[in-house]
Structure 1
Amino acid sequence: MPPLEFSPPETASVFRGLIAYPITPLLPSGAVDHEALGELVGRTVEAGVSAISVLATSGAGVTFSRTERQRVQETTMTAVAGAVPVYAAVTAASTRESENYARDAESAGLAGVLLAPFAYVPLTRDAVRALFAAVSDASALPICFYNKPAQLSFDVDGELLAELVAQARVRGIKEPSVRPGPAGQPPLARRMRELCSGTGPELAIGLSGDLGLLDHPPVVDAWHTGLAALLPEEYVRVWAERGALAVDNSPARDRLIALASALAAGSSPLGGLHAAARALGIGTADPRGPYLPATAREAAALEAVLAP
């Protein structure tokens, strides 16, 4: 099957390219290891990724206090040194927290924020409108709609997305790369066209989910991935080859698929990312609870995949 190709009329100015989502390394005490974070971000940027995004799912942003988040952003900006844009997730349990996080991101010099429609019960369309309007009013930064329908029981449609582009400074969407459809066929191209139909060239269409990205590499505005911060050289190579048939026989792609498959087979995706980081020589303790560490068997499987 050829790669999915879909492009809006023009390239968006933000939330485009290969966007790497590093873990937030921790010391054994549970505090953020800023030295390890700086090294991780620095080598990821040197490999040629397009942008860095912190404090999202891979970075376990919801487990950190506001002060800790501010310091993570400062460390990341120092490590990046202006080479690429830096984004941060601002999803929180309350609108007020998300507003504060967006202000902090703007003050730290970040290029944009990611926001998911999170709540302890599924949000209505009106509640999502209000949330994005509030965060847009709190900061002048562009917003990427972090769409997580399986986890949050809310799935944005093209009509609402067009409203948010026009009224709430939404300039990108991070969309899952695998969406079940008839007979197991993911109607991804149709979904991309639906989301872009009323938004115009301002919106960057991005996909996440490593197995979906790597299975049939899609040609869209952005790939959002945590593995690009663990194996950045390989991911940069696959991103560059995404529209070419040569990607079908890419050793870099094969290694990434093996890692993504091992992580998907584990019981704790975030615990697996931290175990994979250790296997690659990146010092970090396990993530904070409620996230569980990888089991010994899962860690051994990751080490086997990542062995030289």
Structure 2
Amino acid sequence: MSLFHGLSAFPITPADASGQVDAVALCRVLDPLIEAGVDSIGLLGSTGSYAYLSLTERQRILDLVLHHVVGRVPVIVGIGALRTDASVALAEHARDAGADGLLLAPVSYTPLTEEEVFQHFAAVAAVSDLPLCIYNNPSTTHFTFSLPLLARLAALPGIQAVKMPLPADGDYAGEIARLRAALPDGFAIGYSGDWGALPSLLAGGDAFFSVVGGTVPQPFLRLVRAAMSGDAATATRIDADFAPLWDLFRAFGSIRVVHAAARLLGRADSDPQRPILPLPEAELPRLAEALARLSDH
């Protein structure tokens, strides 16, 4: 089975205002994911504030996590960076440190061409034999992967999966069919955008890359397992209990919500990296109610 399968849970990175990780809090954040048995941990994704942390700190965080996890759950680490040489350095460090896989987004200030993105990925793939997932996240990178580009990248050694945004038209089955027709057999197709877990997995997605799975993993893992087994009734019932949290995600952005949730759950006392401001204090009772609704699962 592919590394990029099932629930990949993306935790926050508890850090101070200067971007220094709180190692003790990070372990408290990780422990529920390990205990729940998530299929992988997505370290230093968007939820993990990778774009706001120095390369040195990102390497240190990976070392800390691998030491804490000690092989109990596979670790996929984000290696997106503005410069190709920085992503290459992160990929080399991840390889040497013992990470299980890589997640690469085409981060840029100047809009990138398809050829620039291809060469960026090719440079990373050339230095590491770790399986790599393409991170297609146009809401943050302002770059959208075309189907021909995805097919071209899928031919590179080691590139085994794509993390897709939710389709604007809601046609998950149609998009997955188009992707499968263009990509090699066994190439994993997953989605992110937590309120889209139910429809994407029922439509045949291989994986879900989840923000909330990195905060309240047990109920979300039950949703994922039910949806992937075709038990639409159970998955739909669980998804309904997440609805208040989805509303908060849409209104305030998931990173603000899950930082506040980590504080309410007693796992980490840290805010998102500035200039991102925390969830407004007036919304905390609403968040507490949304979390309490999930506690029965």
CA distance in 2, matches of 1:299, 1:95: 40
Q: Deviation of residue 108 (structure 1)?
A: 1.2
User: Is it true that 1:276 corresponds to 2:261 in the alignment?
Assistant: yes
Q: Deviation of residue 216 (structure 1)?
A: 6.7
User: Is it true that 1:93 corresponds to 2:94 in the alignment?
Assistant: no
CA distance in 1, matches of 2:153, 2:235: 37
2:197 maps to which of 198, 213, 229: 213
Would you say how many aligned residue pairs link Structure 1 and Structure 2?
A: 290
CA distance in 1, matches of 2:76, 2:90: 12
> 1:244 corresponds to which residue?
231
**Runs of 5+ consecutive residues of structure 2 not aligned to the other structure:** none
> 2:71 corresponds to which residue?
82
> 2:165 corresponds to which residue?
176
**TM-score, length-scaled by structure 1:** 0.87
Q: Deviation of residue 130 (structure 1)?
A: 0.6
**Cα distance change on mapping 1:248 and 1:132 into 2, 3 Å:** closer
> 1:260 corresponds to which residue?
246
2:59 maps to which of 33, 50, 70: 70
Query: Which runs of structure 1 show a deviation greater than 6 angstroms over 4 or more consecutive aligned residues?
Result: none
Task: List per-residue Cα deviations over 1:234-282 (Å, max 9, x = no partner).
Answer: 01111111121332553x433323212222212x432222011111221
> 2:134 corresponds to which residue?
145
**Cα distance change on mapping 1:300 and 1:142 into 2, 3 Å:** same
CA distance in 2, matches of 1:142, 1:134: 14
Secondary structure of the corresponding residue to residue 8 of structure 2: strand
> 1:291 corresponds to which residue?
276
Answer 1 or 2: higher relative contact order, Cα 8 Å, separation at least 6.
Answer: 1
**TM-score, length-scaled by structure 2:** 0.91
CA distance in 1, matches of 2:179, 2:266: 40
**Runs of 5+ consecutive residues of structure 1 not aligned to the other structure:** 1-10
Q: Identity over aligned residues, as a percent?
A: 36
**Cα distance change on mapping 1:107 and 1:212 into 2, 3 Å:** same
> 2:171 corresponds to which residue?
187
**Cα distance change on mapping 1:30 and 1:69 into 2, 3 Å:** closer
**Cα distance change on mapping 1:215 and 1:163 into 2, 3 Å:** closer
Task: List per-residue Cα deviations over 1:144-179 (Å, max 9, x = no partner).
Answer: 0000123333222332212111125211100012x2
